[in-house]
Chain A
Amino acid sequence: MLKLLHLTGGYNGEAKVKNISAEFKKNEITVVVGPNGCGKSTLLKLIVRLLKPMSGNIILDDLDISSLARKEFAQKVSFLPQARGIPHMSAGSLVLHGRYPYLSYSRKYSRKDYEAVENAFMITGTEKFRDIPMERLSGGERQKVYIAMLIAQDTDVVLLDEPTTYLDMNHQFELMNLIKSLKQQGKTVITVLHDLSLALQYADQVIVVDRGELTACGSPNDICLSGTIDQVFHIHTQVISSSQYIFSPNKKN
């Protein structure tokens, strides 16, 4: 269980995330949504310790995460950042990098490391890309290989920053189903998604962030019915049935 307690943080002394408290449970996908520049990515960066909080705490299994050593933390929390260059390596060695937190100084991969990698290939169906350089894969394939790397890293908590951006619709679904399988393995999944319908369809818990503040937190249905989505995004949401929504422009626009 991951808990945020009055978390505040940002860049250069300016808070982009303000006093956010939230809980993330095992076997659940929490989707963070909010307008551009609302602080979603900053929130993730704080949780994965890419940024130091200005105040507040992040508690993972009753431990403040700031007390963990780097590698120890990387064995518990993995992160797929949004903007990435394409690394010059084969998909296979990328996935193997997921085992970096477990290496001792000799940098020798153990049988357990190779097993974790095989397992990751199997779950994501990316075994066939093993020898192919990352730059030759399509965007969707590349993203699946990255997910395989996260699976190889084998952490209880997985964070993803807009993993479906720039993908075709079918690849978006494919990727979301992979992310769903992470939750079924008992992981705590937190992801930022730009696409609201995708977010509401796959989320167990939705967190709405607006101007750095948490404006709502709850099940997709509750969030929609409460009208928070409409307020924050300036749109009109119609609930057809559970996990089916229609979005339309706000009438005032």
Chain B
Amino acid sequence: MGTNHRRFHWNPSKKIPWFVIFLIVLIIICILSLTLGAVTITPVQLFEIIKGNDKASTVYRIFMYVRLPRTIAAMLAGSALAVSGAIIQAVLNNALASPNIIGINSGAGFATMLCMVAFPAQTWLLPPAAFIGAFITALAVSIIAMKINASKITIILTGVAIGSILTAGINTMKELFPDVMVGSSSFMMGGLSYITDESLKFAGAYIIIGLIASILFRCEMNVLSLGEDSAHSLGMNVKAYRFLLLMIAAVLAGAAVSFAGLLGFVGLIVPHGVRAFVGEDNKIVIPSCVLVGAIFVTACDLLARLAFAPFELPVGIVMSFLGGPFFIWLLLTKRRHINA
């Protein structure tokens, strides 16, 4: 006994290098997203741009000021919301939970809108405001859930109730301040056409920090999934980690919502989709969600730009059209992974 470490490959899915596959797909999608659109950038031009030649050309400017920010935005939003969803599912021990369903996105959206109304020109304020909105919502839902010792379904119902209050708030502001809400329908559906360097810079920093933190604490998510009492008796400070992880999830969802609007579906379907392929171990699920979330949103955004070019759909619409059937397919074929 003792020297057989190599036998401890318990996750059968480990045999397929999913992580590498996800990475390759992400790179391909990225290149497509950078080059395709109303103006097509050829591989030669792309190479020239990367080399830094030809800075005056239109193509260069399209690339630097439109394509690149937008692709980065799609990737960041996708990773952030997917990981946020995976964390919330682990913390609440609830497969039905995700940032949009338990109202965290609405909380972030409400705070973002409020901020846009009160401080119209302060872009840097949006991510922290969205985070605070997301976090207060997450905290409210989990405190109510703990107070009434809620079942899994009750947690969801609580989130739905809080979410609908906040959505009503968002709609009220939309009615009262129609001029501030440029592109508010794109905000409600989730869209990436109003990305600016500045909005991305601040939110991006929050997202990168959130993603790193979630990768650092992925082990703890596994322990939490054993249930509160077991996690406690293994020496974990359950309350502290729950709080911390919920905060990370709120940072991620809040930052994403602050520039991409209410992109709902990613947080629910990407974690489930990932689990269907790589298994349940959060050590693998979390990094995979970073990649697959980015793939999913970037691909949907690409389609949103191309489907009716030169007109654009909000990415949220494409996401629901693509994600819905995919999720149903998952439910039908790999239901074991999704049982709540």
Which residues of A come within 8 Å of B, CB atoms? Answer: 45, 48-50, 70-75, 77-81, 84-85, 87-90, 92-94, 96-98, 100-101, 103, 107, 111, 114-115, 118-119, 130-131, 133, 135, 153
Given A85-B93, A89-B222, A114-B2, answer yes or no on A78-B233 (Cβ-Cβ < 8 Å). Answer: yes
Interface magnitude class on chain B: 20 to 34
Interface residues of B in 87-108 (CB under 8 A from A): 93
B235 touches A50 (CB 8 A): no
User: How many Å lie between the Cα of A136 and that of B2 in the bound state?
Assistant: 28
User: How many Å lie between the Cα of A70 and that of B239 in the bound state?
Assistant: 13
Least CB distance, B226 to chain A, in whole angstroms = 5
A115 touches B1 (CB 8 A): yes
Is chain B's binding surface mostly helix, strand, loop or mixed? loop
Candidates B10, B12, B227, B336; contact of A87 at CB < 8 Å: B227
Q: Which residues of B contact A87 (CB under 8 A)?
A: 225-227
Least CB distance, A109 to chain B, in whole angstroms = 8
Q: Taking the complex as formed, is B164 at the interface, i.e. its CB lies under 8 A from any CB of chain A?
A: no
Known pairs A70-B237, A81-B230, A89-B225; list 10 more (Cβ under 8 Å): A48-B233, A70-B236, A87-B226, A87-B227, A90-B11, A93-B10, A93-B222, A100-B235, A115-B2, A130-B10
Candidates A73, A78, A100, A111; contact of B223 at CB < 8 Å: A100
Interface residues of B in 228-267 (CB under 8 A from A): 229-230, 232-237
Q: Which residues of A contact B234 (CB under 8 A)?
A: 74, 97-98, 100-101, 153
Which residues of B come within 8 Å of A, CB atoms? Answer: 1-5, 8, 10-12, 93, 219, 222-223, 225-227, 229-230, 232-237, 275, 280-281, 336-337, 339
Candidates A50, A77, A85, A92; contact of B10 at CB < 8 Å: A92
Least CB distance, A103 to chain B, in whole angstroms = 8
The 7 nearest A-B residue pairs measured at CB: A74-B235, A81-B229, A88-B280, A79-B233, A92-B10, A71-B235, A101-B235
Q: Which residues of B contact A45 (CB under 8 A)?
A: 229
Given A50-B229, A93-B10, A93-B281, answer yes or no on A70-B222 (Cβ-Cβ < 8 Å). Answer: no
User: How many Å lie between the Cα of A114 and that of B8 in the bound state?
Assistant: 8
User: How many Å lie between the Cα of A133 and that of B336 in the bound state?
Assistant: 10
User: How many Å lie between the Cα of A101 and that of B1 in the bound state?
Assistant: 22
User: How many Å lie between the Cα of A107 and that of B4 in the bound state?
Assistant: 19
Candidates A48, A97, A101, A107; contact of B226 at CB < 8 Å: A97
Q: Which residues of A contact B5 (CB under 8 A)?
A: 111, 114
Q: Which residues of B contact A100 (CB under 8 A)?
A: 223, 234-236
